[in-house]
Structure 1
Amino acid sequence: MGEGILRPAEHPASHGASGMKLLVAAAGVVYGDIGTSPLYTLREVFAGGYGVQANHEGVLGVLSLIFWSLIWVVSIKYVLFILRADNDGEGGVMALTALAQRAANPYPRLKLVLVLLGLFGAALFYGDSMITPAISVLSAIEGLEIAFEGIGHWVVPLSLIVLVGLFLIQKHGTARIGILFGPVMVLWFGVLGALGVHGILQQPEVLKALNPYWCVHFFIVHPGVGVAILGAVVLALTGAEALYADMGHFGRKPIARAWFFLVLPGLVLNYFGQGATILAAPEAARNPFYLLAPTWALLPMVALATLATVIASQAVISGAFSLTRQAMQLGYIPRMFVQHTSSHEQGQIYIGSVNWGLMVGVVLLVLGFESSGALAAAYGVAVTGTMLITTLLVSAVMLLLWKTPVWLAIPALLGFLLVDSLFFAANVPKILQGGAFPVIAGIALFVLMTTWKRGKQIVVERLDETALPLPVFISSIRAQPPHRVQGTAVFLTARPDAVPHALLHNLLHNQVLHEQVVLLTVASEDTPRVAADRRFEVDAYGDGFFRVILHFGFIEEPDVPAALKLCHLNELDFSPMRTTYFLSRETVIPTKRIGMARWREALFAFLLKNANSNLRFFNLPLNRVIELGTQVEI
């Protein structure tokens, strides 16, 4: 997923930009990950210890497996099928989770299972976000070993310089270098295709691999390899999830056209060209990508490959930022400070804690594995896990939300589940070969997200136990009116039908009420955006009391002061100098009460203490906010 790309409403297409420009942009952002897979896929198949022989049957069998995997998983499943499962134009595992949650509303237990699956899929994405930059940049820099003897010890330091530099520039935004993404990746796919044609012309028989017969024949000739070889073949599919995740930035058609007209031909030609090189010289299996290129083109290819892998890494990092913002809006992770790196494009964001966390993970991976080959042995667990979860979620959407005829839906879904399950099963053994890193990272993030969500629910339940119903409070105010002061007081509360603790504390200690008292609830919807006419609900209770509910989509920035300006009621005045915002800051105290395990309660207390305040998250004016503390036992 890439940042800095305009939303559909701001889309270049809406200003008359040609479809070709969108196609080029999509190639630059969406296909960076899968586009750099030829750097290491075939090398891992033949040199990764799977026992595949670099002979006629082995080469044609592997090429056929790669080709038909690209056709079935990417072309059919994602491009022709999954891209249609959009949530108001948005894609990705969090958007799909919100859609599946809506589909399963009548079935509470199924809804819970789907939400947990979606959260785990999102957590696995972060593990993938660490491995992708590490393996991509390492594989590109390793081309220097072909050009220069004895330079292998420089690969890790040079890779770290490139990667650390990439993370350091994130806070400055990527608008300027982002302009180069599309043209560079178009050049990359063009070069991939040209090199592939060069190799195929030397050994045209590799084209036989287009026949699916060679897939079956491969397993007959290599009986000991079995499903395990899919653990290497899946490297050709890494990045397929980005097609769906970036749909909100470009739309379905530009992504599909870029795939069929540019990316798929370039990838297939290059894989077949590499296969031809291995057929001609089996020893070329040690690095078929670079050995496919003419000697004079080796260094330019290293430079172009490095640039392409940086672009691929940038797209993954930006995707982690976007996913984090969505998860924050949906209430699954603590609020963090989101910095906008462009005054023109809302999609360009930077989240420091995510950036530095990813950087530490990437650096540890590079130092720990030291080569793309070693990393490839660990790569694929998170990717195939996310693919499988996507299929399960979209199954619920098809059957429960779209009401797709069973005779049509079941065969397609079973086919997708079968292939995804085989790829996932092939990658499970990798957990013992280093693949535990993304899995452990995913499990840790899954625990964090579920702990945060459950902890917030418990806090609301505990506050409800002592909450004063709003009608009772208003009746008491009418019976014994306190002193009223000019202005509007806005009390943020999660429960619109109860009196906020901040209001009670203010009345208890200051013995005053404002002329207008607004109980404000900010609701996050399971749709990406909320139309302006559905932004707010207002109820007047009399005696200057109002209830306001503001609705925001899960990719929108909740700017409360700007939204309140839309409330055109004569009785309400939200002018900046007359409005004061009252916030309640809860301090959680873990106890033995029934709720969560003590260690999860302690974790939640730590997360709550360090979460970004409502003041920043809702874009409230600094000089018009009063925070009042409350202790909550959970």
Structure 2
Amino acid sequence: MTDSPPSLTSIPSVPQGPDGRKPRVAALAVGALGIVFGDIGTSPLYALRECFTGEHGVAPTHDNVLGVLSLIFWALIIVVSVKYVVFVMRADNRGEGGILALMALAMQRQRGEEVKVRPVVVTLGLFGAALLYGDGLITPAISVLSAVEGLSVATPLFEDYIRPLAIIILVGLFLLQRRGTAGIGAIFGPFMVVWFLSLAVLGIKELVMYPSVLGALSPGMGVRFFLENRGHGFLVLGGVFLSVTGGEALYADMGHFGVKPIKWAWFTLVLPSLMLNYMGQGALLLRDPHTARNPFFLLAPDWALYPLVIIATGAAVIAAQALISGAFSITQQAIQLGYTPRLEVVHTSAEAQGQIYLPGVNWALLVGIILLVMGFKSSTNLAAAYGIAVTTTMTITTVLAYVVARERWNVSRAVALPIAGVFLLVDLSFFGANAVKIAAGGWFPLVLALGVFTLMTTWKRGRDILATRLRASSMPLQQLLGSFGDHPPVRVPGTAIFMTGNPEGTPPALLHNLKHNKVIHEQVMLLTIASEDVPHVPPEERVEIIRLEEGFVRVISRYGFMENPSIPDILKRAREKGLQFNLMGTSFFLGRETLIPSKKPGMAMWREALFAWMSRNARSATSYFRIPPNRVVELGAQVEL
């Protein structure tokens, strides 16, 4: 783990300028605009509106408008600028960020540490990751709906066409996923530059007419707002929080661009543009309180309304794309960390390893989003479901970052606790304000997260129980090799590769083959694929070869949680390290277990049945690890859980 930003020289796609650095950072910052800031960049579409027209909105009086604007400004400063940009983004797991990377970093134990904190870290990390699926459903729906709703500002005739048009746009976006985002991504960054400049221009236009709104920059206005509105003012934080949703993306996507480009883009363009737009909306409200129904689109002159709807829809699609790609990425990480069954992972770019497409996740998200749009009907109704998932994730991030600061960086409690305490106070305040929305829709992301969390923990626990059952029925490898002296088996030409998760024992498939076929190949390779709690494993550490007796060789291949294992790649590296074999004379022996729920100690019967169902529907090892299918022999066995 390193406290320094990832090396920018590791990204070769951006050409260097004469000094070899500044143009690279600028180019990466533009790219980050199209991936990192789509969610937070579309918040002006609905955030301020919900503070005044939502279920717990306040009247758009002079003091209320300045008070809400003050809360939005200081939320962006404290939550995004200070918490994420200054502190959390230092917690990089070999350059990668995100809640699972943070969980893996917190789990990297040091000598003398107690083990009791690990289950807590795992639980928090997994539940935070599960909540991101709810975010991945709600963000595309609320962003696209908010953009298309701008049409109703022009004329109420469009009212009945808003939901169908939003669904058509979303379906088109999901249909494009299988083609990859390389071509589309090339225009995302420049398009978002236009979007943020449009936000700034719209805000400045109104701000120059009512400059006194800048008084909202004083924190005293926020304090005054709470003193005047008390409990009602606290509930308005649920709307204020919508202005910082997407802040988690700065940390989650820093591995793609590096820390400096994200910081540069945030402080030079994104933050100023957002605040100018919010201030402009506030100035409009001060001039005409009736514009609270949709202050963003009413900022625009009549002639610019339709172009603004088009630009806003494009920005909303980009925000949706970022969340969809994030769902793909977090699923890949969960698979590699052993919390999700193997799923089909399609690489859509030969150059960029991070560009992946998961068909199962893609279509599940699309169905969920369509149901959300049809069920909640408007962005205002969706706003009730939005905040609770993100506030919970941000709170978990604060706790995990504190664990990393204490246990990885050795920061004293006297320093780490007050800083984390301030962030937790803000996070929990937002969480409390959003908690009242649970009955109105906030239950949805919580129920979804609980379901995903149950699936993840059931799969992990089930795999551990299965490994224990198989280990109990297995034979130590040294014992098997020792028995060959007295009773040598018949050896046949070629190489046999047995995949095993236990690098010490004998693979059950090997014992079954020996029992039923009574033969052993001249060379036997015992292959173990180990997933590390780091995002990437250096190529020189990918494959380890241990030569044993009787023609047996143990091969241990290590992959990070951002990488997909590949048998052809492993065999190529093994050959480069001196292991000789002919692929055409090599057979792969895989075990296929039929799982039977039982009353043995382990899991509840319903969880064992769930695990057995997940195992049956997981992608086969042959296709997932890219094993030549005509070289595979599967040997089955029944295992009671």
Q: Same fold (TM over 0.5)?
A: yes
Contact 2:103 2:121 in 1 (8 A): yes
Q: Which amino acid aligns with 1:136?
A: S
**Aligned with 1:26 (options 26, 32, 35):** 32
- What aligned pairs does 1:309-320 form with structure 2 within 5 A after superposition? 309-320=316-327
| Stretch of structure 1 that moved more, 477-486 or 265-274 | 477-486
| Residue 55 of structure 1, CA deviation | 0.9
User: What is the match of residue 631 of structure 1?
Assistant: 638
C-alpha distance in structure 2 between counterparts of 1:571 and 1:144, whole Å: 67
| Residue 550 of structure 1, CA deviation | 0.8
| Residue 574 of structure 1, CA deviation | 3.5
Q: Are residues 291 and 607 of structure 1, via their aligned partners in 2, closer, same or farther at CA, if it must alter by over 3 Å?
A: same
- What aligned pairs does 1:167-206 form with structure 2 within 5 A after superposition? 167-206=174-213
Q: Which amino acid aligns with 2:615?
A: L
* 2:512 matches 1:514: no
Q: Are residues 165 and 568 of structure 1, via their aligned partners in 2, closer, same or farther at CA, if it must alter by over 3 Å?
A: closer
User: What is the match of residue 443 of structure 1?
Assistant: 450
**Aligned with 1:409 (options 391, 409, 416):** 416
| Residue 307 of structure 1, CA deviation | 0.4
C-alpha distance in structure 2 between counterparts of 1:354 and 1:153, whole Å: 30
Deviations along 1:140-180, one digit per CA (max 9) or x if unpaired, are: 00000011233211111111100111111111112221111
User: What is the match of residue 87 of structure 1?
Assistant: 93
Deviations along 1:291-340, one digit per CA (max 9) or x if unpaired, are: 01111110000000000000000010001001100110000000101011
**Aligned with 1:426 (options 422, 433, 448):** 433
User: What is the match of residue 84 of structure 2?
Assistant: 78
* 2:264 matches 1:257: yes
Q: Which amino acid aligns with 1:171?
A: R
- What aligned pairs does 1:55-134 form with structure 2 within 5 A after superposition? 55-103=61-109, 106-134=113-141
Deviations along 1:209-260, one digit per CA (max 9) or x if unpaired, are: 0110001000112124142111110000110000000011000000010000
Contact 2:333 2:562 in 1 (8 A): yes
- What aligned pairs does 1:247-396 form with structure 2 within 5 A after superposition? 247-396=254-403
C-alpha distance in structure 1 between counterparts of 2:212 and 2:269, whole Å: 23
Structure 1, unmatched stretches of 5+, are 1-5
**Aligned with 2:158 (options 140, 151, 154):** 151
* 2:227 matches 1:227: no
**Displaced runs of 4 or more, over 6 A:** none
C-alpha distance in structure 1 between counterparts of 2:510 and 2:552, whole Å: 12
Contact 1:104 1:396 in 2 (8 A): no
Deviations along 1:372-406, one digit per CA (max 9) or x if unpaired, are: 01111221011001000011111100001110133
**Aligned with 1:138 (options 104, 129, 145):** 145
- Which SS does the other structure have where 2:298 is aligned? helix
Query: What percentage of aligned pairs have identical amino acids?
Result: 55
Q: Which amino acid aligns with 2:397?
A: T
| Residue 49 of structure 1, CA deviation | 2.7
Q: Are residues 262 and 571 of structure 1, via their aligned partners in 2, closer, same or farther at CA, if it must alter by over 3 Å?
A: closer
C-alpha distance in structure 2 between counterparts of 1:178 and 1:445, whole Å: 29
User: What is the match of residue 36 of structure 1?
Assistant: 42
C-alpha distance in structure 1 between counterparts of 2:231 and 2:399, whole Å: 31
C-alpha distance in structure 2 between counterparts of 1:58 and 1:370, whole Å: 28
Q: Are residues 569 and 438 of structure 1, via their aligned partners in 2, closer, same or farther at CA, if it must alter by over 3 Å?
A: closer
Deviations along 1:337-389, one digit per CA (max 9) or x if unpaired, are: 10111222211111011011111110011001111011112210110010000
| Residue 14 of structure 1, CA deviation | 7.6
- Which SS does the other structure have where 1:277 is aligned? helix
C-alpha distance in structure 2 between counterparts of 1:574 and 1:395, whole Å: 50
User: What is the match of residue 585 of structure 1?
Assistant: 592
C-alpha distance in structure 2 between counterparts of 1:442 and 1:335, whole Å: 20
- Which SS does the other structure have where 1:537 is aligned? strand
| Stretch of structure 1 that moved more, 525-534 or 125-134 | 525-534
User: What is the match of residue 9 of structure 1?
Assistant: 10
**Aligned with 1:47 (options 43, 53, 56):** 53
C-alpha distance in structure 2 between counterparts of 1:388 and 1:568, whole Å: 48
User: What is the match of residue 457 of structure 1?
Assistant: 464
C-alpha distance in structure 2 between counterparts of 1:354 and 1:11, whole Å: 30
C-alpha distance in structure 2 between counterparts of 1:455 and 1:520, whole Å: 22
| Residue 582 of structure 1, CA deviation | 1.0
C-alpha distance in structure 1 between counterparts of 2:110 and 2:596, whole Å: 34
| Residue 13 of structure 1, CA deviation | 4.7
Contact 1:34 1:239 in 2 (8 A): yes
Contact 2:225 2:233 in 1 (8 A): no
C-alpha distance in structure 2 between counterparts of 1:633 and 1:574, whole Å: 37
C-alpha distance in structure 2 between counterparts of 1:349 and 1:224, whole Å: 46
Deviations along 1:180-203, one digit per CA (max 9) or x if unpaired, are: 100110100000001111111111
| Stretch of structure 1 that moved more, 61-70 or 559-568 | 559-568
User: What is the match of residue 3 of structure 2?
Assistant: none
C-alpha distance in structure 2 between counterparts of 1:570 and 1:303, whole Å: 56
Deviations along 1:493-540, one digit per CA (max 9) or x if unpaired, are: 011111111101111222111111111111000011111221122222
Q: Are residues 350 and 554 of structure 1, via their aligned partners in 2, closer, same or farther at CA, if it must alter by over 3 Å?
A: same
C-alpha distance in structure 1 between counterparts of 2:130 and 2:55, whole Å: 30
C-alpha distance in structure 2 between counterparts of 1:7 and 1:514, whole Å: 48
User: What is the match of residue 212 of structure 1?
Assistant: 219
| Stretch of structure 1 that moved more, 175-184 or 61-70 | 175-184
Q: Which amino acid aligns with 1:547?
A: R
C-alpha distance in structure 2 between counterparts of 1:140 and 1:238, whole Å: 17
Q: Are residues 208 and 167 of structure 1, via their aligned partners in 2, closer, same or farther at CA, if it must alter by over 3 Å?
A: same
Contact 2:15 2:24 in 1 (8 A): no
- Which SS does the other structure have where 2:573 is aligned? coil
| Residue 570 of structure 1, CA deviation | 8.4
C-alpha distance in structure 2 between counterparts of 1:198 and 1:570, whole Å: 66
- Which SS does the other structure have where 1:523 is aligned? strand
- Which SS does the other structure have where 1:229 is aligned? helix
C-alpha distance in structure 1 between counterparts of 2:577 and 2:399, whole Å: 50
* 2:400 matches 1:399: no
C-alpha distance in structure 1 between counterparts of 2:585 and 2:431, whole Å: 59
| Residue 12 of structure 1, CA deviation | 2.8
Q: Which amino acid aligns with 2:281?
A: Q
Contact 1:564 1:574 in 2 (8 A): no
C-alpha distance in structure 1 between counterparts of 2:389 and 2:156, whole Å: 35
Normalising to structure 1: TM-score of the pair?
Answer: 0.97
Contact 2:343 2:618 in 1 (8 A): yes
| Stretch of structure 1 that moved more, 185-194 or 95-104 | 95-104
**Aligned with 2:488 (options 459, 481, 485):** 481
C-alpha distance in structure 2 between counterparts of 1:338 and 1:570, whole Å: 28
Contact 2:25 2:260 in 1 (8 A): no
| Residue 104 of structure 1, CA deviation | 7.2
Contact 1:7 1:347 in 2 (8 A): no
C-alpha distance in structure 2 between counterparts of 1:211 and 1:511, whole Å: 82
Deviations along 1:540-571, one digit per CA (max 9) or x if unpaired, are: 22110121111111111211231232235887
| Residue 103 of structure 1, CA deviation | 4.2
Q: Which amino acid aligns with 2:355?
A: Q
C-alpha distance in structure 2 between counterparts of 1:285 and 1:571, whole Å: 72
| Stretch of structure 1 that moved more, 10-19 or 361-370 | 10-19
- How many equivalent residue pairs? 629
| Residue 7 of structure 1, CA deviation | 9.7
Taking only aligned residues, the RMSD between alpha carbons, in angstroms, comes to 1.5
